[in-house]
Amino acid sequence: MHKVEYLGEPTPEEIRELFERALSRGAVLVVFARCKVHYEGRAKSELGSGDRVIVLKPDGSFLVHQSKKREPVNWQPPGSVVRFEMRELPALVSVRRKPRETLVVEMEEVYHMVLFQAEDYEELALTGSEAEMAEVIFKKPELIEPGFRPLHREKPIKHGIVDILGVDKNGNIVVLELKRRRAELHAVRQLKSYVEALREEHPNVRGILVAPSLTSGARKLLEKEGLEFRKLEPPKRERGTGGRQRTLL
């Protein structure tokens, strides 16, 4: 049994056979085709004829990609059930049960199909989120500085929502803006706007950008605006030992 199978310009019967093999083997199926797409569920949509990439995954995910943009133009989530139907044109039909949604791809011409017997039992080791960074700071406020006391998380203010609002050992208001990745100019401008909004009500407000690192431009702007930086790595999540994926049906 080959891990990868290819079909160029398949007949309707060959399309059906490769689709059924993908289902039975729990394989990824990629179809390059000229197709029309019809969706009905919480709304209705129609996508006229065009060349697209169709991806079917063993967990029921069903994706239709155009030649532009990152996101699929149409999709169904994991847990959906996909079947092949021979209508006027060969069609792939994906049905989601709750809520009831149906996605139909009518294939006018299939250029190429690829079955990929992917074996991947690992889970992505993700860097912690900004919310997890906030949890760490609330547990160990001394990571920011001695005497720092966090008071509020996701505090709404005039120009947005402050990640952490607290006070320092001298009673000054402290605004923390958290970034889980390298902080850029936008993060500094965001912090500046929060500090300026709070200074309308409080005379002494400090702004601290908390991130693993800074771009050189962000560092220069921080210094110019009298804002501060604290280096903090987001917590690491443990790599899982996920099991085998389920089939499409």
Domain definitions of the chain by residue range: 4-116, 130-231
Nearest to 115 by CA among 212, 2, 243: 2
Q: Residue 249: pLDDT above 90?
A: no
**Chain mean pLDDT for the chain:** 91
The domain 4-116 having CATH identifier 3.10.330.20: the answer here is no
pLDDT digits (tens, 9 = 90+) for 33-42: 999 999 999 8
User: What is the Cα–Cα distance from 78 to 133, expressed in whole angstroms?
Assistant: 30
Q: What does the H/E/C string look like for the chain? A: CCCEEEEECCCHHHHHHHHHHHHHHCCEEEEEEEEEEEEECCCEEEEEEEEEEEEECCCCCEEEECCCCCCCCEEECCCCEEEEEECCCEEEEEEECCCCEEEEEEEEEEEEEEEECCCCCCCCCCECCHHHHHHHHHHCHHHCCCCCEEEEEEEEECCEEEEEEEECCCCCEEEEEECCCCECHHHHHHHHHHHHHHHCCCCCEEEEEEECCECHHHHHHHHHHCCEEEECCCCECCCCCCCCCCCCC
Can you give the pLDDT at residue 42? 83
Q: At 127, is the pLDDT very low, low, confident or very high (cuts 50, 70, 90)?
A: low
What is the Cα Rg of the chain in Å? 26
Averaged over 49-55, what is the pLDDT?
98
Flag whether pLDDT at 123 surpasses 90: no
- CATH topology match: 4-116 vs 130-231: no
- Which has the higher per-residue pLDDT, 203 or 240? 203
Rounded distance between C-alpha atoms, residue 233 and residue 212, angstroms: 5
Say what percent of the chain tops pLDDT 90: 84
User: Over 50: is that where the pLDDT of 7 sits?
Assistant: yes
90-96 and 81-86 as β-strands: parallel, antiparallel, unpaired? antiparallel
Report the pLDDT averaged over residues 99-105: 96
Say which CATH topology domain 130-231 has: Trna Endonuclease; Chain: A, domain 1 (3.40.1350)
pTM (predicted TM-score):
0.55
Q: What are phi and psi of 55, to 5 degrees?
A: -125, 125
> Residue range 221-243: average pLDDT?
79
Range in 51-55, 143-147, 243-247 the model is least confident about:
243-247
* CA–CA dist 125, 241 (Å, integer): 11
pLDDT value of residue 240: 46
